[in-house]
């Protein structure tokens, strides 16, 4: 199958010479148009997840579907291969079904809008954006059911279809879709905002073609792709080894009592081409933690990661894809077979970045290797009927993404309380308290939660939610069992915990993946995220920096001893510090490995309940 673009102007676009200055102007104009897409979306969307948090991913692509500028490219090509229909001027395509668009999106709450850009009857570009909807129907509010075993339990599946056909809204289709979600008003506004953002960027592309000429715009896009190709070719030649390098990491559990699940990748280079092979990754899980990873999407992850590490000024686009080969075995955690559940894929998606960071940095750890960090987007869902005085028992539904500790790195300490996705922002507490029956009683970093190191890991966050109405909560998190690892002597980061204190004073540890937990007005949830691993020998950290962290409540006096620093009466005890550091160096020995994973899996299992308050998951049983 493949889509057919219908053009009334059959004169093909052609390559022409473009001056460097002109190419630069077009490049920056396209980058500005991509930023304008976000501005339009954030000002017109309604849900806090998109409007306040920024859970959306825009792009502008050339007519072949290769991303020229954007944040999360790679999906138009796979979509075009899967879509078996004609595409005409004025069409707006909508889908959320990973299995029907070659994983152009990876779970059903992400609604993807694609707009083909036409000028004078000729197809010249694409604009696209997807956003995470507050609800998609299915078993539970928020549509990421922990215990789902099939995608049919995760809500409405929207195959690639025309939301607008030749510019006309297909209102019956829209109403059918919105009839199947709990937050239909939010979804309607958010979907309109996605369309408006794509149409805005489409107008900017047409304006550029009017100003410079269709062929010049077409050729300038090719130049941008070529620039990216050449930059990535240099990076691959210099940073990817010919000798294979292997790394593995884990997601802790599947929410149904089994885990951890291994993600394994081997990386090497043949000539100019980087190879990544995920053979050895565990088979698909019984629940929704599977991540349907499209090969082109992984190439995007690789390109985005390496460009940001090596040279963030390089324009990130899809130009380098011919330089990367990816193998993801079918039936594994990263390529489950239909109709496997996939809504909780955020944990495996995030862990990919830890694996990538280890593979790319291990060859030059002093210059490139980061520790493990906040590689996830933990979710809190809270829903019910607002039964506070003066309220009309109105339905509410909160979807909140938590932040945590960025890892220590060669360049310095990891930031505290940050998102996995650099473009995300926290939802202001004032907003949450205004629109939901919640009170935020604590919002602060957790001292000592970042791993000690020459450059410490960023701290996780403690957010204390006081529920003001009866309702149900769900939690989606990870790194409660395995540790965020440190490197080059850096210590592991603190793991995540979730503790619920009832109004009668009783306390219970909640699993990191659970839903359908009933809460009463007055109950208090401590939602603690994990810290980043430390980088480098903590005994080499300047004691003055350790004292500064203690004074800023980022570390405690007890935690300072992990650096061999003794603090007495608010000051560093120099003599005691020298003595303690000497003792610590002697006791640990002279050899420091590249990675510090903390206790092994079996030791963690044995001590799990005492350390976390939770029963250890059983070893996965694969069918």
Instruction: For residue 365, give every residue at least 6 positions away whose Cβ sits within 8 Å of its Cβ, in sequence order, or none.
Output: 487, 488, 594
pLDDT at 130 over 70: yes
- Does residue 435 register a pLDDT over 60? yes
73: confidence class by pLDDT, cuts 50, 70, 90: low
Cα–Cα distance, 475 to 465 (Å, whole number): 13
Asked whether residue 466 falls in the same domain as residue 340, the answer is yes
Looking at the fold, whether 250 and 225 belong to one and the same domain comes out as no
3-class secondary structure, 82: helix
Is residue 622 one of the residues assigned to a domain? no
Cβ-contact 49, 134 below 8 angstroms: yes
Distances 64 to 13, 83, 368, 459, 508 between C-alpha atoms, Å? 12, 14, 34, 43, 54
535 DSSP 8-state letter: B
In the prediction, which pLDDT does 268 show? 97
Please tell me whether residues 152 and 222 are part of one structural domain: yes
Q: What is the pLDDT of residues 492-550, one digit of tens each?
A: 999 999 999 999 999 999 999 999 999 999 999 999 999 999 999 999 999 999 999 99
The least confident of 17-26, 76-85, 607-616 is 76-85
DSSP 31-80: HHHHHHHHHHHHHH--SHHHHTT--EEEEEEETT--EEEESS---HHHHH
**Residue 315's pLDDT is what?**
80
Beta strands 486-487 and 595-596, pairing class: antiparallel
Rounded to two decimals, the pTM is 0.94
Q: Indicate if the pLDDT at residue 623 is higher than 70.
A: no
pLDDT over threshold 90, residue 480: yes
Domain extent, residue 135, equals: 4-232
Rounded-to-integer distance, Cα 566 and Cα 578, Å: 9
Q: Where are the alpha helices (DSSP H) in 436-562?
A: 543-551, 557-560
Which pLDDT band holds residue 424 (cuts at 50, 70, 90)?
confident
421: confidence class by pLDDT, cuts 50, 70, 90? confident
Of 181, 216, 232, the residue at which a domain comes to its end is 232
Q: Cβ distance 527 to 498 under 8 Å?
A: yes
Q: Are residues 213 and 269 in the same domain?
A: no
Inter-residue contact 387 to 393 (CB < 8 Å): yes
Burial class (CB in 10 A: 0-12, 13-18, 19+), 587: exposed
Domain co-membership, 245 together with 163: no
In a domain, 134, yes or no: yes
Predicted confidence band at 274 (pLDDT cuts at 50, 70, 90)?
very high
- Whole-number Å distance between alpha carbons of 543 and 522: 43
Domain boundary among 196, 214, 232: 232
Average pLDDT over residues 584-607: 89
Q: Give me the pLDDT at residue 578, please.
A: 96
In a domain, 84, yes or no: yes
> Which residues touch 238 (CB under 8 Å, ≥6 apart)?
none
Q: Is residue 413 part of a domain?
A: yes
Q: What is the pLDDT of residue 367?
A: 84
* Average pLDDT, integer, range 79-98: 91
Residue 101 lies in a domain: yes
**For residue range 295-351, what is the model confidence (pLDDT) as tens digits?**
988 998 898 888 877 777 788 899 999 999 999 999 999 999 999 999 999 999 999
**Structure confidence at residue 74 as a pLDDT band (50, 70, 90):** low
Q: What pLDDT was estimated at residue 312?
A: 75
Contact (CB, 8 A) for 267 and 244: yes
Q: Give, in order, the Cα–Cα distances in Å from 169 to each of 11, 129, 174, 186.
A: 29, 18, 8, 18
Of the residues 232, 249, 266, the one at which a domain ends = 232
d(CA 197, CA 189): 12
The pLDDT tens digits for 358-398 are 999 988 888 888 999 888 889 999 999 998 877 778 999 99
Spatial distance between the Cα atoms of 465 and 524, rounded to a whole number of angstroms? 6
What was the pLDDT predicted at 423?
76
Assign 373 to helix, strand or coil. Answer: coil
The answer to whether residues 59 and 133 belong to one domain is yes
- Residue 140 in any domain: the answer is yes
- pLDDT computed for residue 70 by the predictor: 87
Element (H, E) at 352: helix 346-361
| pLDDT 10s digits, 105-127 | 899 999 999 999 999 999 999 99
pLDDT tens string 237-259: 988 999 999 999 999 999 999 99
Is 567 among the domain residues? no
Cα–Cα dist 207/204, whole Å? 5
Q: What is the pLDDT of residues 279-306, one digit of tens each?
A: 999 999 999 999 999 898 899 889 888 8
The answer on 224 and 273 residing in a single domain is: no
- Asked if 189 and 336 sit in the same domain, the reply is no
Q: How many other C-beta atoms are found inside a 10 Å radius of the C-beta of residue 544?
A: 10
Measured distance CA(579)–CA(569) in Å, rounded = 18
**Per-residue pLDDT at 72 exceeds 70:** no
191 plus 277 within the same structural domain: no
Asked if the structure places residue 548 within a domain, the reply is no
Same domain for 213 and 351, yes or no, is no
The answer on 227 and 245 residing in a single domain is: no
Per the prediction, the chain carries an average pLDDT of 93
pLDDT score of 141 more than 80: yes
Whether 228 and 255 share a structural domain: no
Confidence of residue 1 (pLDDT cuts 50, 70, 90): low
DSSP 8-state symbol, 539: G
- Number of folded domains that form the chain: 2
Tell me the pLDDT tens digit for each residue of 440-466: 999 999 999 999 999 999 999 999 999
């Amino acid at each position: 199958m493949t889509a057919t673009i219908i053009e009334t102007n059959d004169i093909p676009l052609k390559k022409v010479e473009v001056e460097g200055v002109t190419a630069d102007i077009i490049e920056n104009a396209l980058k500005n148009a991509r930023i304008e897409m976000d501005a339009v979306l954030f000002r017109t969307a309604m849900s806090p997840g998109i409007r306040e948090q920024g859970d959306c991913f825009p792009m502008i692509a050339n007519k072949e579907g290769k991303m020229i500028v954007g944040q999360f490219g790679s999906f138009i090509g796979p979509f075009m291969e899967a879509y078996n229909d004609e595409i005409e001027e004025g069409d707006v395509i909508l889908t959320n079904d990973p299995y029907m668009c070659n994983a152009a999106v990876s779970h059903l709450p992400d609604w993807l809008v694609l707009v083909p850009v036409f000028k004078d009857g000729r197809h010249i570009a694409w604009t696209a954006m997807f956003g995470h909807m507050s609800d998609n129907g299915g078993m539970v509010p928020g549509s990421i059911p922990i215990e789902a075993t099939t995608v049919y339990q995760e809500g409405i599946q929207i195959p690639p279809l025309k939301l607008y056909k030749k510019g006309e809204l297909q209102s019956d289709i829209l109403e059918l879709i919105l009839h199947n979600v709990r937050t239909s008003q939010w979804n309607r506004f958010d979907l309109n905002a996605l369309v408006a953002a794509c149409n805005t960027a489409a107008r900017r592309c047409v304006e550029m073609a009017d100003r410079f000429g269709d062929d010049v715009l077409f050729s300038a896009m090719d130049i941008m792709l070529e620039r990216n190709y050449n930059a990535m070719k240099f990076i691959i030649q210099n940073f990817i080894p010919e000798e294979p390098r292997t790394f593995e990491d884990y997601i802790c559990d599947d929410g149904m009592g089994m885990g951890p699940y291994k993600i394994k990748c081997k990386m090497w280079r043949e000539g100019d081409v980087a190879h990544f092979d995920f053979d050895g990754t565990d088979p698909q899980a019984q629940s929704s933690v599977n991540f349907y990873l499209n090969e082109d999407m992984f190439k995007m992850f690789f390109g985005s990661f390496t460009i940001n590490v090596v040279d963030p000024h390089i324009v990130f686009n899809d130009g380098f894809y011919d330089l990367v080969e990816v193998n993801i075995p079918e039936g594994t955690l990263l390529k489950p077979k239909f109709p496997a559940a996939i809504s909780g894929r955020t944990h495996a998606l995030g862990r990919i970045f830890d694996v990538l960071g280890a593979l790319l940095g291990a060859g030059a750890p002093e210059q490139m290797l980061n520790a493990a960090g906040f590689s996830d987007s933990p979710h809190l869902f809270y829903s019910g009927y607002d039964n506070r005085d003066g309220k009309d028992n109105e339905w509410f539904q909160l979807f909140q993404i938590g932040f945590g500790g960025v890892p220590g790195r060669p360049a310095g300490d990891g930031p505290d309380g940050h998102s996995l996705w650099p473009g995300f922002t926290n939802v202001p507490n004032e907003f949450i308290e205004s629109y939901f029956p919640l009170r935020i009683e604590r919002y602060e970093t957790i001292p000592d939660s970042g791993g000690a190191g020459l450059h410490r890991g960023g701290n996780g966050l403690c957010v204390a939610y006081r529920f003001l109405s009866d309702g149900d909560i769900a939690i989606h998190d990870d790194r409660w069992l395995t540790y965020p690892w440190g490197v080059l002597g850096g210590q592991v980061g603190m793991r995540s915990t979730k503790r619920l204190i009832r109004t009668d004073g009783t306390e219970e540890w909640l699993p990191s993946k659970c839903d359908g937990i009933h809460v009463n007005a007055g109950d208090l949830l401590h939602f603690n995220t994990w810290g980043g691993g430390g980088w480098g020998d903590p005994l080499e950290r300047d004691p003055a920096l350790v004292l500064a962290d203690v004074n800023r409540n980022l570390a405690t006096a007890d935690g300072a001893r992990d650096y061999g620093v003794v603090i007495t009466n608010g000051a560093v005890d120099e003599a005691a510090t020298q003595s303690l550091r000497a003792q610590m160096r002697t006791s640990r020995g002279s050899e420091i490995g590249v990675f510090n994973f903390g206790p092994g899996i079996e030791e963690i299992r044995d001590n799990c309940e005492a350390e976390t308050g939770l029963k250890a998951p059983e070893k996965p049983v694969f069918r």
